[in-house]
């Protein structure tokens, strides 16, 4: 039996209209669940952004005073070149430091709008020969002329991850718990719709309708539930993304600043939410319809 687009649209629209209250409940529940998931993904993006300065195996950053002299910089560079525990290092000048700073804290207009390139501390990023050598190297450069602060990757990242784990656990528990409720609502909504048409479904089966002919309108209904909830979650996550990221304050040499998530990164999170919402809606609907197809 051929399946037409007009038939699918009419059946889906009719089911949505007949079960409007249950549909709205399923959409809202799905939105709450996916917003919690979106918050966890947003915080993960904020952590990745905060780890920019530690890419490429960098384990230690030697931040220099913004007014450091050329001779002091050269002296530190020469010492790094001859230090036995240094595998390699590179210098981050003021413009590069400012670019990095705006990438990490672009959402904090109070500080980004005040600081300039000249306020940025240049730094040396150090990759040690062995990770266990890093503490000794740090002691070697701490307090030297021109050095503002020595920071270690493990300390910085561990502090962020410690905060993230707490929020991630709560967010995932909320997301999973509410997701179960959303799936249950979708299943109940679809079952109500198909129960009301159970005799029609039985007749369709007897005259040769395939399972897919019967199943597709209900699966589309579940898809709409999931996508509508995902769109709401996406919109909310996009709007409050920087508030979510601010739960992970990052302590830097310029003080404690709230992390920032770009619109592009938020859109990537939104795509994940849309995919999850669609998948949950379709799978839940397929499960709900299955028991009524055996005639």
236 and 215 both lie in a single domain: yes
Q: Is 244 a domain residue? A: yes
For residues 116 and 18, which has the higher predicted lDDT (pLDDT)? 116
| Cα gap 177→173, rounded to integer Å | 6
Same domain, 128 and 82: yes
Examine the domain organization and report whether 122 and 265 are in the same domain. Answer: no
Question: What pLDDT was estimated at residue 228?
Answer: 92
113: pLDDT strictly greater than 80:
no
Nearest CA to 152 out of 141, 168, 167, 165 is that of 141
Residue where a domain stops, chosen among 122, 153, 184: 153
The predicted model gives 207-231 an average pLDDT of 81
pLDDT of residue 124: 93
Segment 31-51 mean pLDDT:
84
Which residues lie below 8 Å from residue 39, measured CB to CB, with a gap of 6+?
167, 171, 237, 244
CATH classification of the domain holding 58: 3.30.70.3040
- Is pLDDT above 60 for 257? no
Higher-scoring residue by pLDDT: 247, 77: 77
Where does a domain end: 118, 153, 188?
Answer: 153
Q: Is residue 295 part of a domain?
A: no
How far, in Å, CA of 110 to CA of 94, rounded?
A: 20
Over the stretch 60-108, which tens digit does the pLDDT of each residue have? 889 999 899 999 999 999 999 988 888 889 999 999 988 888 877 765 5
Range of the domain at 119: 54-153
What total of structural domains would you count in the chain? Answer: 2
What is the pLDDT confidence band of residue 109, given thresholds at 50, 70 and 90? low
What's phi and psi for 146, nearest 5 deg? 90, -10
Q: Are residues 167 and 37 in the same domain?
A: yes
Distance CA 35, CA 27 (A): 12
Q: Answer whether residue 226 shows pLDDT above 80.
A: yes
pLDDT of residue 94: 92
Q: Are residues 124 and 220 in the same domain?
A: no
- With a pLDDT cut of 70, the percent of the chain lying above it is 80
Q: Are residues 43 and 167 in the same domain?
A: yes
* 45 half-sphere exposure, CB direction, 13 A CA radius: 27
Residues 68 and 148 in one domain: yes
As given in the structure block, the two tokens for residue 1 are 């039996």
> 0.85 cut: is pTM over it?
no
Q: Residue 92: what pLDDT?
A: 92
Confidence of residue 11 (pLDDT cuts 50, 70, 90): low
> In this model, does residue 140 exceed pLDDT 80?
yes
In this predicted structure, the answer to whether residue 49 has a pLDDT above a threshold of 90 is no
**Is there a domain that residue 91 lies in?**
yes
pLDDT at 236 over 70: yes
Question: Is residue 223's pLDDT more than 70?
Answer: yes
115 and 146 part of one domain:
yes
Residues 42 and 81 in one domain: no
Report pLDDT for 258.
64
User: Which of 135, 153, 171 is at the close of a domain?
Assistant: 153
pLDDT at 254: 56
pLDDT higher at 252 or 242: 242
162-211 confidence digits (pLDDT tens): 767 777 777 778 888 888 888 888 887 777 777 766 676 666 667 766 77
Q: What is the dihedral of CA 270, 274, 276, 281, to 10 degrees?
A: 150
Together in a domain, 61 and 47: no
* Residue of higher predicted confidence among 28 and 112: 28
The yes-or-no verdict on residue 125 having pLDDT over 80 is yes
Q: Are residues 211 and 94 in the same domain?
A: no
Residues 190 and 259 in one domain: yes
Listed in sequence order, the residues at least 6 apart from 277 whose beta carbon sits closer than 8 Å to its beta carbon are 30, 34, 226, 227, 229, 230, 231, 233
Average pLDDT taken over every residue of the chain: 80
């Amino acid at each position: 039996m051929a399946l037409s687009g007009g038939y699918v649209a009419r059946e889906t629209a009719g089911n949505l209209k007949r079960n409007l209250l249950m549909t709205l409940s399923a959409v809202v529940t799905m939105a709450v669940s996916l917003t919690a998931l979106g918050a966890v993904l947003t915080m993960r993006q904020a952590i990745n952004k905060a780890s920019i300065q530690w890419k490429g195996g960098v384990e230690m950053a030697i931040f220099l005073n913004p007014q450091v002299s050329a001779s002091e910089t050269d002296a530190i560079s020469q010492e790094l070149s001859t230090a036995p525990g240094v595998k390699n290092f590179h210098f981050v000048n003021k413009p590069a430091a400012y670019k990095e700073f705006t990438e990490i804290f672009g959402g904090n207009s109070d500080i980004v709008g005040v600081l300039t390139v000249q306020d940025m501390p240049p730094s040396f990023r150090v990759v040690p020969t062995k990770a266990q050598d890093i503490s000794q190297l740090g002691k070697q450069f701490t307090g030297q002329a021109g050095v503002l602060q020595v920071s270690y990757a493990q300390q910085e990242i561990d502090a962020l991850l410690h905060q993230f784990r707490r929020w991630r656990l709560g967010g995932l528990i909320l997301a999973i718990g509410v997701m179960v409720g959303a799936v249950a609502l979708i299943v109940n909504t679809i079952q109500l719709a198909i129960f009301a048409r159970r005799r029609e479904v039985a007749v369709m089966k007897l005259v040769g309708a395939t399972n897919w002919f019967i199943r597709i309108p209900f699966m589309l209904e579940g898809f709409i539930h999931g996508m509508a909830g995902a769109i709401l979650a996406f919109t909310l996550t996009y709007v409050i993304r920087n508030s979510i990221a601010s739960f992970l304050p990052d302590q830097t040499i310029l003080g404690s600043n709230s992390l920032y998530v770009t619109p592009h990164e938020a859109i990537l999170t939104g795509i994940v939410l849309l995919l999850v919402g669609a998948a949950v809606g379709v799978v839940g609907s397929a499960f709900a319809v299955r028991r009524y197809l055996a005639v």
